[in-house]
Structure 1
Amino acid sequence: MTSQPPAKQFTANVQRSATDVFGPIQREFNRLFDQLGSGWTAFTELDLIPRLDMRETEDAIEVTMELPGISEQDVKIAIEDDVLTISGEKKSESESKKGDVRVSERTYGAFSRSISLPRGVDAEKIKASMAKGVLTITAPRDGAAAAKTIPIVAAK
């Protein structure tokens, strides 16, 4: 006959074994999250992607894009094959401050957004303006590609 160890002793061995196996993994996760918590500024170094809205009216397509801190001279607008591309660069400001602690959360760098325009936009008449950090682009329609209803004829 074989004797079995008491249930308490078996449970203690399993708990000790799990701690031995998963302890190093738990320490690595703790270290990872500790570093991640203090390193959120690394995520701000990602590409600068300005937000935009695109609105369609009867006469035109209107695009507005948020570009705070960027001057008109640092923005380029181009159109090729019915694709409107807005690109530019937000340049960093050089500051010299004395002290041990400094936090910088603002993003700098180049950006580019491309938008497919619908047919019927007159590329020669596109206009752009910028006020209070918002770029507004108006692309008027030429009327050539107006919507048309096609009647269905019964087959013979």
Structure 2
Amino acid sequence: MRFDPFREFERIMEQNFTSGARMPRSMPMTARRRGERFFVELDVPGVRMDDVDLTVERNVVTIRARRSGDREEGDEVIVDERPYGEYSRQLFLGDNLDPDGLTAELHDGVLQLTIPVSEASKPRQIPLGSSSGSSASSTSGST
């Protein structure tokens, strides 16, 4: 996975200078490799499965999650500090990952992506063989 410094800069600017405290600020993420798979977990509290859009185009994974309030007409809001709106994040996958094998699950406000390492990137054993017609066998008896 690659780090996108411009996206991170945009996220930090959004966190610090967005007017209004009710806009979603971030989608915190953890990424780790375990064996031949990468696991990415993103916090999406209060987001239902139907409100998550996950797309893959080439090696770019785009995650969009929407969180809406549950107010009804006539509700008198006393305090409302929870962020609502759309969260968005892009992940740039390295060439060693297989975006076609990506799977996703949502449990307890955590979106978990599982991305396998591509077959071409897995270590493989190369058998040693002898080549026919080696120069060692052609040095017999010429006088």
Q: TM-score range by the shorter chain?
A: 0.5 to 0.7
- 1:73 paired to 2:50: yes
- 1:143 paired to 2:119: yes
The CA RMSD measured in Å over matched residues stands at: 2.1
Are the equivalent residues in 2 in contact too, given 1:86–1:114 (CA < 8 A)? yes
- 1:87 paired to 2:69: no
Q: Percent identity?
A: 27
Tell me which of 75, 89, 103 is aligned to 2:79: 103
Cα deviation, 1:57-95, whole Å, max 9, x if unaligned, reads: 331111101111100110011111211111121112114
- 1:134 paired to 2:110: yes
Cα deviation, 1:92-138, whole Å, max 9, x if unaligned, reads: 2114445xx71110010011100111112222211111111111000
- 1:114 paired to 2:90: yes
Partner of 1:54: 31
Higher RCO, 1 vs 2 (CA within 8 Å, ≥6 residues apart): 2
Q: Where do 5+ consecutive residues of structure 2 fail to align?
A: 1-18, 124-143
Distance 1:74 1:106 in 2: 17
Q: TM-score, normalised by structure 2?
A: 0.65
Q: Where do 5+ consecutive residues of structure 1 fail to align?
A: 1-41, 148-156
Distance 2:62 2:93 in 1: 10
Are the equivalent residues in 2 in contact too, given 1:121–1:141 (CA < 8 A)? yes
SS in structure 1 of the partner of residue 119 of structure 2: coil
Equivalenced residues, count? 105
